[in-house]
Structure 1
Amino acid sequence: MTPRGIIGLALVGVLLGAGLAAPLLTSHDPNFQSADALVGPGSAGHLYGTDEIGRDLLSRLLYSIRTDLMVVLIAVPLGLLIGGALALVAVTHRVADVAVQRLFDLLLSFPSLILGLTVTAIAGFGAGSIVTVIVLIEIPSFGRMLRGAILVHRDREYAVAARIGGAGPLRLLTRHVLPNAADPVVVQVAVAMSVAVILEGAMSFIGIGIRPPDASLGGMLSASRPYLEDHPFYALGPLVVITALVVGLNLIAEALNRGARR
């Protein structure tokens, strides 16, 4: 692991721990409203201050991390599983390959936020819609990457030798080709997680993601806009967390990519 990869792991690990330990790190209910509206950090027993309706900002920030992690850790593996399954279907037959490739083209034709608007118009707002959008975005990314890797590796010398040795198509694919084709997919997982963090923040920021009163990083940023001049601390927390998550995940992806090339 490179020094940058270690920094990335540290950033993501600290934020992951903070999100999981949210009930232990703060005694405030993230949705509890009080008369102490927009007080600064350290005031009235609120370490990071309060929002416009008196809710504890540190509590909401920690629970927002939990929300993001829940969305990311559900959506990205689902996108990988579905995209991987479609890639396996595509390499089995030419007609299936054409059909799967056209499906990927269809999904890629929608810009992320337009797809988000479409999904929320059909299914409503909330974490479920965000997960659905991320899955739909990641399916073609994982599917095309894995399909390409399988096509390359199944013509390598070791695969040809296994085929000559009597390995059937299924055994050849699962025991020989897939384990060697998985390296770029591992890198893509880290990239997909950073994309998922950005997308959750963007959807919640424009009001089609996690809906109030539930806490989310994008929602906190959106709510802070009218108070940026007098209370810049309001937006600082979610902005730093989003940046740290994206930078950390991209540093991990870079380190994994370098390791895969060696």
Structure 2
Amino acid sequence: MTSTVSSAPAVRRGTAARHPYLAALTTTRARIGLVLVGAVVLAGLLAPLLSSHAPTAQSGRALVPPGTGGHLLGTDDLGRDLLSRLLYGIRTDLEVIALAVPIGALLGCAFALLAAVHPVLDTVVQRAFDLVLAFPGLILALAVTAILGPGRLPVIVVITLAEIPVFGRQLRAGILVQRERDYAVAARVGGTRRARLLIRHILPNCADPLVVQLAVSLTVAVFLEGAMSFLGVGVRPPEPTLGNSLSQALPYLSQAPYFAAGPLLIVTLLVLGLSLLSEALNRETRR
């Protein structure tokens, strides 16, 4: 019985456990997704090298068409270089999303593990999740912004709060299934403590859905950050983001459609790439 318990996590952490991810990343769908996401991330990281203009510098030439006066994508309504604001806007979005989603995932998983310790804790945690999920994303954003004011911090807080119950419920569902499996029952009979059983044996076997959910949550975070900045309750100008760039371009769609083209294209590429990755991971891990 002891050998049965010890061998289960060893197999799960071995080479075979990595096969679903490796197989997913070699599919055409995942490769396209990696190229799209990688191109956007690389553009944001190389923003200082790809643009010779500061994102907040005003040239005095408003709404200059693309390719005029050294401005590859033209200028905005205040004469700022659109390429520079686009590249630095990508960087701002990536910084916010790369911080908020992992924090939300870690806190959600921590609460799920806490809920698995005792039925009373499970009830309290699930009701807390219900409370957060009762608020739509934008309503939650408005409530947080009313308390903290606009800026990066409320965007990070809103995305984090939105992701905590998502990951928490995902892991809780996995724990409920895995703890009834033979290896978990054998571990309990063999005297394995509950905390060790959860961390050492059950948690590794719940990882696959969490990886898929991470890719999905990154996609949702792109929309949420963009919506908050677009509505003026997120990161505020002059700091560029994809959302507030679209908001500033809205009054000039008929006069200067190129103003909104860059942010729209980047958001589309980023969301499409992340969606392709999550779909590839989901298909392979379910086989």
With the shorter chain as reference, the TM-score category is over 0.9
1:93-131 deviations in Å (ceiling 9; x for gaps): 111011001000000000111110110110011111000
- 1:166 Cα deviation from its structure 2 partner: 3.5
Query: What is the deviation of 1:161?
Result: 2.5
User: TM-score, normalised on structure 1?
Assistant: 0.98
Q: 1:241 & 1:8 partners in 2: Cα distance?
A: 13
Aligned to 2:135, what secondary structure does the other structure show? coil
Counterpart of 2:158 (choices 133, 138, 147) is 133
Aligned counterparts of 1:23 and 1:113: Cα–Cα separation in 2: 32
1:216 to 223, 238, 241: 241
SS of aligned partner of 2:55: coil
Q: CA deviation at 1:186?
A: 0.5
What runs of 5+ residues in structure 1 fail to find an aligned partner? none
- Aligned partner of 2:256 in structure 1 is 231
Q: 1:156-210: per-residue Cα shift (whole Å, max 9, x none)?
A: 1122223333322122111110000111011000110000000111011111011
Corresponding residue number in structure 2 for 1:173: 198
Equivalent position of 2:64 in the other structure: 39
After TM superposition, list the pairs within 5 Å mapping 1:178-193 onto structure 2.
178-193=203-218
Name segments (4+ residues, structure 1) moved above 3 Å.
none
CA–CA separation in structure 2 for the residues paired with 1:90 and 1:163 = 18
Q: CA deviation at 1:148?
A: 0.7
Tell me the SS of whatever aligns to 2:138: helix
State how 1:117-128 maps to structure 2 within 5 Å.
Answer: 117-128=142-153
Instruction: Please give the alpha-carbon distance, in whole angstroms, between the structure 2 residues aligned to 1:178 and 1:219.
Output: 40
Give 1:92's aligned residue: 117
**What number of residue pairs does the alignment pair up?**
262
Identity of aligned residues (%): 61
TM-score (norm 2): 0.90
Maintained 8 Å contact 1:36/1:44:
no
Given residue 34 of structure 1, which amino acid in structure 2 is its aligned partner? S
Amino acid at match of 1:124: G
2:21 maps to none
Deviation (angstroms), 1:5: 1.2
Cα deviation code 1:3-42 (max 9, x no counterpart): 1111111100010011011011111100000112111111
2:220 paired residue among 185, 192, 195? 195
- SS, match of residue 182 in structure 1: helix
1:11–1:245 Cα contact (<8 Å) kept? yes
Distance 2:225 2:103 in 1: 16
Distance in 2 of aligned mates of 1:10 and 1:166: 48
**Does residue 157 of structure 1 match 2:178?**
no
Counterparts of 1:244 and 1:218, CA distance in 2? 15
Aligned to 2:138: 113
